[in-house]
């Protein structure tokens, strides 16, 4: 009876060795897969920046163009307001002078 028990114990030891080898192989496959996933994620992140760069450059150019148009528009508006203020100042000075020269009018 010792011989069947001995064979059973040896079979159990071989089975445990197969299980341990399978676990090590599984762990190695999982580590390899995780490393590949990390590499793919890093490549994706680097690619995202490269993909966004032209859009960011275009948005920057549009913003600069809009700023230039607004600067020109508000500069023109400021010039018109200064001219209007100068004209009103001349009219007010003329009216004040007329009032001083002819208080009855």
Look at residue 105 in the predicted model and tell me its pLDDT. 64
Look at residue 46 in the predicted model and tell me its pLDDT. 86
Residue 5 vs residues 11, 34, 50, 55: alpha-carbon distances, Å? 10, 43, 67, 74
**Angstrom distance (rounded) from CA 80 to CA 87:** 11
Look at residue 102 in the predicted model and tell me its pLDDT. 85
Look at residue 2 in the predicted model and tell me its pLDDT. 84
Helix, coil or strand: residue 102: coil
Domain ranges of the chain: 1-74
Per-residue pLDDT of the chain (105 residues; tens, 9 = 90+): 688 889 888 989 999 999 999 999 999 999 999 999 999 999 998 888 888 889 999 999 999 999 999 999 999 999 999 999 999 999 999 999 988 888 876
């Amino acid at each position: 009876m010792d011989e069947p028990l001995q064979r059973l114990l040896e079979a159990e030891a071989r089975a445990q060795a197969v299980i341990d080898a399978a676990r090590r192989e599984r762990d190695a496959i999982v580590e390899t897969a995780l490393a590949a996933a990390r590499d793919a994620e890093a490549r994706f992140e680097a690619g995202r920046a490269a993909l966004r760069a032209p859009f960011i450059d275009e948005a920057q150019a549009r913003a600069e163009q809009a700023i230039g148009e607004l600067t020109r528009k508000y500069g023109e508006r400021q010039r018109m307001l200064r001219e209007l203020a100068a004209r009103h100042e001349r009219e007010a000075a003329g009216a004040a002078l007329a009032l001083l020269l002819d208080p009855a009018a």
